[in-house]
Amino acid sequence: MAQARLSVRKIRDVLRLKNEAHLSDRQIAAVLGSARSTVQECLKRARLAGLSWPLPAELDDVELSARLYPRAEIVPRYPTPDFAAIQAELAHKGVTRMLLWQEYKARHPDGCLAILAIA
């Protein structure tokens, strides 16, 4: 099961309670109603992002969230078929999905397994 993600308000509370009140991870989790592992993950992400309490005044909620939870770059595993081109090709007489699929697989043998229904 995926670990719960704390709200930005709770992230600020975790950092504040850890550094000002010197509470343990278990105590912070009890105060916030979260799992200890979630608190530990939040503190780890803050440490990796180089953040500590007090947070810089110019750091708003959106920026804080982006620094703690950066978007992972999505790298496609195979070349994505050009569905617009496929749709245009299907308009020609004698062109079938199977023919287009065979052409795609000839160009990209390790490509996707199937081109699903194209409306």
61 and 96 together in one domain = no
Nearest of 82, 87, 39, 42 to residue 65 by alpha carbon: 42
Q: Is residue 90 part of a domain?
A: yes
In a domain, residue 88? The reply is yes
Task: Find the domain containing 14 and state its range.
Answer: 8-68
| Residue 13: inside a domain | yes
- Do 17 and 63 belong together in one domain? yes
DSSP state of 58: T
CA separation, residue 100 to residues 86, 109, 118 (Å): 7, 13, 12
How many domains is the chain built from? 2
Q: What CATH number has the domain bearing residue 45?
A: 1.10.10
Cβ–Cβ under 8 Å, residues 36 and 26? yes
Assigned token pair, 105? 């697989």
What is the C-alpha to C-alpha distance for residues 114 and 38, in angstroms, rounded to an integer?
39
pLDDT of 89-115, one tens digit each?
A: 999 999 999 898 888 888 888 877 765
Same domain, 35 and 80: no
Identify the burial level of 114 via C-beta atoms within 10 angstroms of its C-beta, where 0-12 means exposed, 13-18 middle and 19 or more buried: exposed
Give exposure, 59-92, as e/b (b: 16+ Cβ within 10 Å). Answer: eeeeebeeebeeeeeeeeeeeebeeeebeeeeee
Q: 115 and 97 in one domain?
A: yes
Whether residue 106 is found in the same domain as residue 54: no
Q: Does the pLDDT of residue 119 top 80, yes or no? A: no
What's at 62, amino acid-wise?
V
Whether the predicted model's global pTM rises above the 0.95 cut: no
> Is residue 3 included in any domain, yes or no?
no
Q: Please write the tens of the pLDDT for every residue from 35-84.
A: 999 999 999 999 999 998 888 888 898 999 989 888 888 887 778 888 89
Nearest to 18 by CA among 51, 49, 48: 51
